[in-house]
Structure 1
Amino acid sequence: MRRGALVLCVLALASCSSSPPPQPAPPSLRALTWREVTLPAADATVQDVAFCDDHWLAVGGLPTGPAAWRSTDGMTWTGVRLAPVSFYGRQSTISTVACRGADTVAVGAASGGAHGNPRTSTWRSRPDGSWLEYEPAFTQFGGQDSVGVGTAAAALGPPAGWAIVGNWLGPDGSPGPALWHSTDGMSFERTLVAPGSSARATDVAPLPGGGGWLVAGEAYGATLTGASWTSRDGTTWTPVPVGGPLALVTPYGDGTLGVGAAGAWWYDGTTWQKRGTLGDANGWRFLALSATSVLGAVTVAAGSSCRLWTTRDGGATWQEAAMPAPLPVTAETVAATAISGDTLLLATDDGTRARLWLTTA
């Protein structure tokens, strides 16, 4: 009896004193050399950035109203002259910008009216470099059937075109993906992409080769799945199956790169192919995705902080890179990206302070 008790005690002591199994080391962050860029204005908010042929653009707002800035080197910025025409346009913040060559379309909004609904308007560049506001009817982007307006995109090739993605109530009263498309960037036509589909749109990109649009999103059922649709004319849509939810899409080389909770996906103009993963992306909020033929970058809100991942092989492999400074996650967090070659511009804004950063990745 005593011997058995002694054996049990020895085994218990051995168990207690043994070391826990070694844990795998966290993947090392890719070190980047960041240069902080002097903001165009000390009290600016920056919501989006883009690279357009030979210059960078940043958009957002000032306490006095909407704002946009232009730079040829990413270091020195000058204000774009804006020409608002509406009451709410003069108070708006510009949230998204798209460009093709020197042509630019942007979307801004200000809350107003009895219910504080967003009053959305579009901006179009003019030959003299200024941007003119185009004020649509309130029901074009708002009203009782509106769910939300998202990002803008420019066509890669002819026919020229512009698109804004969002969500809208369908004839059955359920929300679904919608697209506003335009040939001139001034007057937009709204179409319902997949009414009654139990899906929502998250982003839009031009079809590979130009001439048409790819809307990405998520479909709701027993589980959350991926969804996407393509259209050559912005009116007639074809669903394209994808194996995981898509949060963001962007042109990459001769195809389209998409990212979401299940990882990265590649669209070759016909089908989606699975690429690599970014880690345990469950619960992440994807903030921005940019790419050139040599570099892709995505920012995410993961838990309480923002993180950055890069790829050089079309999304097959990803490596987390060090952010230039900690960026906490808030309801107003912005971590927007734009890329020229292998130069990455990052705009960060936590709702209290906006900053711009450059690096060669």
Structure 2
Amino acid sequence: MRTPARFALALLLLVLAACDQAQPAPTPVVNPQWKSVELPLPPGPAGRVLARDVTRCGDRWYVGGGVGTPAGDTRPALWSTTDPAGATGWAPVPLDTASDYYAIRSVLYALGCQDGRVAAIGAKSGGAHGNPRVRTFYSRADGTLVAVPSRDFELYGGGRQVSVNRIAAGPGGWLIAGNRAGGATVWTSPDATAFTIHEDLPTLANSPDLSTFASDLARLPAGWLVVGGGRLAGRIDRDPYVWTSADANVWNRVPLPGTPDDETAQRVARTADGLVALGVAGTAFAAWHGDAAGATGAWSGATRFGATGTGAVAAVDGVAVLETASRLVVSTVGADGHRLWTADLAGKGWQSMTTPVQVGPGGNTAVTVGGAGDTMLLLTDDGTAGGLWASQFPRA
């Protein structure tokens, strides 16, 4: 006959065994075979490569960034290659900084593509308050990347300056998404040679009950989509929003399914399965899936992955769409540093990915990812050395 103590112990062991069987198997880590790729220094003083954005445009890969010297000087740089794998043949693209003081010193941080030509946003901090002095660049017919000299200080700067974030091409030309003192703002151009600001637009900009901000953008089949967030009056947490427009003048605000947590959308990707907005939700990173038009009511609730941690500004910094592999690849930064993740084209089934180097958090560090087909290009900067890495997405 069992004693009560023996019976209780047996019951406890059965419960523990059942709990162990019920736990899901750990999600496998994806291990790309990263190859280090050299970006040759462009003409000018010696320094280290500052790689900040990457895109596939026409039959070429482009990496944008700059060169930083030991004395603290910077200059813009753009590299390209026709190697589909992005592993060889990189060379500097000629630049014309148009004798503009801040264009000469800019670091390119955002690239866009249209009809095989790139446009870029760059900046260099300066002036009495040390604010970023933003410049845009466009591709001339001979392939040279040309700076647009500043002729209007208030276009990107001035007392209402906040941020100039991402650039994309779409119907009728180019769009930049960013922010001014009045909230979410866009800039338009037919050919990227000069931009016009559109601030304080109804629904897109601030209203008495909602403060807005824009982080990224994508073209739609018939217009534009901007992603970001807003903060309702009297609250400290953010809510995720997207905005759609046919002409960049009249905007429709679409709330993404949210919770009482602090949530915001920071990047967006167009895929064969629709749109995926990416950002943070509470203590995790998050993905919201929508249809190809970004329509109201078509967005899913957030699929959460990873952990943002505490004591650091968490963000989704980069996103790549690998059409052939049917995968998303995303770079994030949180308290534990910069990390890579992958999911299907609907932003589901997230897995961690290994990186060739470990990059911690901090304002002087940067990691982002780009991709096309089944090729991934990873840009890293740990504050002392920058790198470019290439890999094919691992086959199952």
- Structure 2, unmatched stretches of 5+, are 1-7, 42-46, 69-73, 259-263
- Per the TM alignment, residue 258 of structure 1 is displaced from its structure 2 partner at its CA by 0.9
Are 2:178 and 2:184, in contact at CA under 8 Å, matched by a contact in 1? Answer: yes
1:142 alignment partner, one of 132, 157, 182 = 157
Aligned match of 1:84: 97
Q: Does the 8 Å CA contact 1:215/1:229 hold for their aligned counterparts?
A: yes
Using the TM superposition, give the Cα deviation of residue 254 of structure 1 relative to its aligned residue in structure 2, in angstroms. Answer: 5.6
Q: 1:217 aligns with which of 228, 245, 250?
A: 228
| 1:342 counterpart residue number | 374
1:275 Cα offset (Å): 6.0
Partner of 1:266: 289
3-state SS in 2 of match to 1:273: coil
Q: Which residue of structure 1 aligns with residue 193 of structure 2?
A: 186
Assess if the C-alpha contact under 8 Å between 1:290 and 1:298 holds in 2: yes
Offset from partner CA, 1:57-111 (integer Å, 9 cap, x none): 0111113511110011112211010101111111111111111231211011112
CA deviation string 1:311-337 (max 9, x = no partner) = 234212221111122111111222111
Q: Structure 1 residues 132, 255: closer, same or farther in 2, change over 3 A? A: same
What is the correspondence of 1:123-138 to structure 2 with a 5 Å cutoff?
A: 123-136=137-150, 137-138=152-153
Distance in 2, matches of 1:71 and 1:333, equals: 25
Maintained 8 Å contact 1:163/1:182 = yes
Counterpart of 1:7 in structure 2 is none
Contact 2:271 2:345 in 1 (8 A): no
Q: Helix, strand or coil for the counterpart of 2:155?
A: helix
Q: Give the CA deviation at 1:216.
A: 0.7
Aligned residue in 1 for 2:32: 32
1:319 to 342, 347, 351: 351
User: For the residues of structure 1 that align with 2:318 and 2:349, how far apart are their CA atoms?
Assistant: 18
Percent identity between the two aligned chains: 34
2:59 corresponding residue in structure 1: 54
Aligned 8 A contact 1:327 1:348 in 2? yes
Counterparts of 1:59-74 in structure 2, within 5 Å, are 59-63=64-68, 65-73=75-83, 74=86
Runs of 4+ in 1 over 6 A off after TM superposition: 21-25
Residue of structure 1 in register with 2:265 after alignment: 246
SS of residue in 1 equivalent to 2:40 = coil
Q: Which amino acid aligns with 1:359?
A: S
Give the TM-score, by structure 2 length. Answer: 0.79
Q: Secondary structure at the match of 2:303?
A: coil
Asked if structure 2 preserves the Cα contact closer than 8 Å seen for 1:229 and 1:238, the reply is yes
Distance 1:328 1:259, change over 3 A: same
Q: CA RMSD in A?
A: 2.6
Q: How much does 1:282 deviate?
A: 6.4
Partners of 1:239 and 1:292 in 2: CA distance? 29
User: Is the 2:322–2:375 contact (alpha carbons within 8 Å) kept by the matching residues of 1?
Assistant: no
Contact 1:109/1:118 (<8 A) preserved: yes
Q: Which runs of 5+ in 1 are unaligned?
A: 1-10, 171-175
Question: Separation in 1 of the partners of 2:217 and 2:159?
Answer: 23
Q: Deviation at 1:184?
A: 1.2
